Structure 1
Amino acid sequence: MSRSRQQVVRMLALVPYLQGNDGVPVNEVAAEFGVSPKVIRDDLRLLMYTGTGEYAGELIDFDLTALERDGIVHIRDAEFMTRPLRISAREGVALIVALRTLRASASGLELTVIDSALAKLESAVGDTVSPQVDVVLDEVDPAIHETIVEALTGAKRLELTYATASRDEQSVRDVDPRRLITEQGKLYLEAWCLKAEDLRFFRLDRIVSARVLPVDAQEHDAQPRDLSDGFFTVGEQTPFALVDLHPRAHWLTEYYQVDLLEQRDDGVWRAKLYGADWSWLRRLVLRNAGSITVISPEHLRTQVVDDARLALAAYDDSATPHKES
């Protein structure tokens, strides 16, 4: 089970447990749930943003003074968890669409749970959802999908054979899977790629084969990419750089928003590379030094050159032996 899924399951059990054990020490709660006190404290802070509304009395609350000073947990304003939740027709429709989207990327036992929830919601909402909303995703090999779900559920490492369209080649790599997501009708696996030593997205319809390895997936110090605005969102004010992508940087066209302008015979691609801001673009170019050449704008090109010179100078200084005075 993924870490985020474990947290959801734990927090769903945490509220009724605390309601029945008010004033329990946080260390005892941690021992009961098999995690550290810090994890429980983080869960409680997150639960404080949970409720039926957005105002005091509608959100779960805790006595923070008792928690921080004495390590004691007192829960308040969580009585709504003991009674059925009422949802509006609009909220019901939104949940149905979300479940149908989830169903399109689910498999195995997940389908049974989702179908059961869908049937109950559709019965409760009634004619409000007519005509039906259909969610259509590109077809994916069911065996590959099942293998990825198995690895995610068991927190195991995967061996993938992946077809990279931009280079018309296949590569074999080991990855630690993090989550399955959908974007623009396609299924993606976000995973830590041991070959690239970074987070990558793998389109499931481009995975040629997948095998669960007898190795536990590791946690890596990497922030998940914010997809609240979608994978590839470009507006009139979106910063971009005109760059030359050398063969080792062609993978960027699979992961970021890139407009290819020219593909030369020597393997260098001229492209527009979009980013959230200029500092992000500068960091991306520096991380791929030697594989990306900035053509314009001049201020970005200058920043990259200056930063690279400073980095090289630091290495030169550290390699120079200090003379004794």
Structure 2
Amino acid sequence: MTRPAARGGSRASADRLARLLNLVPYLLARPGIEIAEAAGDLGVTERQLREDLELLWVCGLPGYGPGDLIDMAFDGDRVTITYDAGIDRPLRLTPDEALALVVALRMLAETPGVSNREAVERALAKIEDAAGDLVGAPVEVRLPADTRRVESLRTAVDGGRALRITYYTAARDETTERTIDPLRMLMVGGRAYVEAWCRRAEAVRLFRADRIDAVTELDEPAAVPPQARPHDLSDGVFRPSPDLPLITLRVGRGERWITEYYPCERVEPGDGDQWLVSLRVTDLNWARRFVLGLGPDVTVVSPVELAEQVRATATAALDAYARPAPAARRDPAADAPTPGGDPAVAAGPR
């Protein structure tokens, strides 16, 4: 329900920015113009024009002190720009600025979920043409993902086809076959995702592109049911809720990074350099693998079930290392000297 309003807000902001950029040269060419006349020419109300003029007071050059900001004088209902802060001059980009802008636009053009990639590419072409040799450096932009997989997913989403995918679910450490009806491609936290209606789960799900092992485009169109709604990802992909398991860990200095990487409900000082960290997890199987991967500076405080699972898995791993490996069958010919060569080298390819 809030998405159309958000798009409308973005459109209104863009319209206002364009109006402000046009307002300064317009007023410079008409010193002392009446506000009512200017409002009529610009197609806005007098109230809106006065709000725009109030915003111009705080616009200007970096430093934003006296002599940096746009200034104007009012005489009753007339307005005159007395200092334009250089906004009437054509934009001149330094080589570094031009290159940074080109790289940013190239990255945007490659980002999944961009709805109007053609507009980005047109803007990029214009800037490259205007900048000329300034952006001639051999720069290639690639997203941190499987480019071919992302492109195939993007093609399927744009084409409105259903997909059959082989997907690895890290939370359960399992691979499943699913048929999905794509909604959109998007980039969250530097990772590419396809958001789709999953026919197996009968719900909208997010699938990480790098965890999709195989993709088959079906001959049938995507059939997204009316009740399917995209997720609100403004706060990230994982959104902790009270119904998820809560785990508490005692972490040393070397593992404090998890408090910055994962959403934590509580972080408290413990003994010495240790912290007590509480966070929600999707399930305890994921938490078990998570804790085992952290190392010896982490201890499970609660729940007891998680501590027992970690202990059992670690004990089984140690037992496996303690058992001697089965003796390998040897080929007597492998030990025979090889004329003109090292026996070890000759035995290697065998």
What's the TM-score, normalizing by structure 1? 0.43
Structure 1 or 2, whichever has the larger Rg, is 2
Q: Which has the higher contact order (CA 8 A, sep 6+)?
A: 1
